[in-house]
Amino acid sequence: MCISYIYYIYIYILEKYIIFWVIRLQGRRIQKVGPSTLTVSLPSSWTKEAGLRKGDLVFYVPQSDGSLKLRARESDEREKKVKEFVVNSDLCDREGLLERIIVGNYLLGHDIISIVSSKRISNSHSEEIRRISRKLIGLGIIEETPIRIILQCSIETSKFPIDMVVRRLYAIASTIHKEAIQALCEMKMELAEEAIRREEDADMMYWLASRLLYSAQNSRDIAEKIDLNRHNILNLRMLVGFLERMADWGEKIGKNVILIEKKGIGIGEPIIEGVYQLSEKAYTICVNAMESVFTGDIKIANIAIENYKKKIEQEEEKLVQDLPLHLPDSEVASNLRHILWGIRRIAELGAEIAELSLNQALDRSTKLCKGLDNSNILNK
């Protein structure tokens, strides 16, 4: 009897202990202060993460689902204070290093970047700073002395529509691809050169998109203003990376077209037609992939993936095998192989975009795939 009684007391204490820690870790009890005021405490881990201190003002914002959102206004204001990041140019003793450091600071959302030297900023570094600042949207030189150059970004990140940047990046990448192939078909070197110049525009859009996404990832406030969550940010970062690489492959195609035209050797109509048809199929795959991104259409995404698997790979390999039969010049044949490989890679990137879009679409319920409660499944 005594042992049984002690056992029940032990179980009772254990249950109370468990409830205590569940409440402490996952919930907060409402307390009454005064005749009509109810209060609830804030988790210390959250207050530290939000940068809240005693005396800070917070705001409750009612949500449509009946919940309340707690906004730490004063901590938000502290985040908005501009911080200066200083780069020591004396330590940038390798070609391209200073440029990449500036780009990295820009991508991370840093608004003021100071490049300093203990003696004098070299002419090569000054040129590097000017060259890259012209390629980064919103970034400009606001102060310059022999030992210090200050760059400032004027972009208001929270007001920039990320969808517009993504659409613009895709438009540039697809134009580079189309113009480069058109230059090959019409043997127009100036068209290929124009396609190559557009690649810098693609880089500008890619860097801008990356800056927006990094800023949204680091600030809940910015993410909410441009309607992004952590899942969207991850997918968009992958998407803009695919589009930037698509533009790079289009540039490579254009460079090989110029090399072919400089040789002055005519290419037979069958080869030109084969390259053109392969390019059109790759272009269509990318169009379908991007349409699925913006519409969430799973079937269109699947079409793009299947077209790549069933058409592009086999046709590209056959065209490469046939090149020696039609082209005696080995250099021109090599350039055409690079062009065909570039078309295949663009199509492959389109298929990867379609897979990304398909997986993202499955994150929400559709007629093709919808989630059911476990209770519904068990009752059947």
343-368 confidence digits (pLDDT tens)? 999 999 999 999 999 888 776 666 66
Fold of 84-155: Translation Initiation Factor IF3 (3.30.110)
Nearest to 77 by CA among 52, 107, 103: 52
At residue 246, does pLDDT exceed 80? Answer: yes
CA–CA dist 19, 294 (Å, integer):
46
- 326, pLDDT greater than 90: no
CA dihedral of 131, 134, 246, 280, whole degrees rounded to 10: -110
Query: What proportion of the chain, given as a percentage, has pLDDT over 70?
Result: 81
Domains 84-155 and 158-361 share a fold: no
Residue 34: what pLDDT? 66
Residue 339 · residue 253 · CB < 8 Å: yes
- Cβ atoms < 10 Å from Cβ of 4: 8
pLDDT value of residue 281: 95
> How large is the C-alpha radius of gyration of the chain?
29
Domain ranges of the chain: 84-155, 158-361
Cα 17–chain centre separation: 46
Per-residue model confidence as pLDDT tens digits over 205-223: 999 999 989 888 877 777 7
Per-residue model confidence as pLDDT tens digits over 186-201: 888 899 999 999 999 9
Q: Minimum mean pLDDT among 6-20, 200-214, 218-232: which range?
A: 6-20
Q: Does 239 score more than 60 pLDDT?
A: yes
Structure pTM?
A: 0.75
Mean pLDDT is lowest, of 53-67, 115-129, 160-174, 264-278, for: 53-67
How far apart are the C-alpha atoms of 184 and 11, rounded to whole Å? 82
Per-residue pLDDT tens over the stretch 329-341: 788 889 999 999 9
Between 31 and 82, the more confident residue is: 31
The CATH class, in words, for 158-361 is mainly alpha
Q: How far is CA 276 from the centre of its chain?
A: 30
